[in-house]
Amino acid sequence: MRTLEYGFRDIFDLAPADFLRMQRFHAARRKLMKAVSGSTTVANIAYETGFYHLGRFSGCYQELFHELPSRTLQRHSREQAAKISPLI
Q: Of 48, 22, 37, give the one whose Cα is nearest residue 72.
A: 37
Q: Is 82 helix (H, G, I), strand (E, B) or coil?
A: helix
- Band the pLDDT of 79: cuts 50, 70, 90: low
Bridge partner residues of 37 (DSSP): 40
Query: From 3.40.50.300, 1.20.1250.20, 1.10.10.60, 3.40.430.10, which CATH number describes the 22-83 domain?
Result: 1.10.10.60
pLDDT at residue 67 is higher than 70: yes
Per-residue model confidence as pLDDT tens digits over 41-64: 999 999 999 999 999 999 999 999
- Is residue 68 within 8 Å of residue 41, measured between CB atoms? no
Per-residue model confidence as pLDDT tens digits over 1-31: 889 899 889 998 999 999 999 999 999 999 9
- The predicted pLDDT at position 80 comes to 62
Segments making up each domain of the chain, as ranges: 22-83
- The predicted pLDDT at position 86 comes to 56
- The predicted pLDDT at position 82 comes to 60
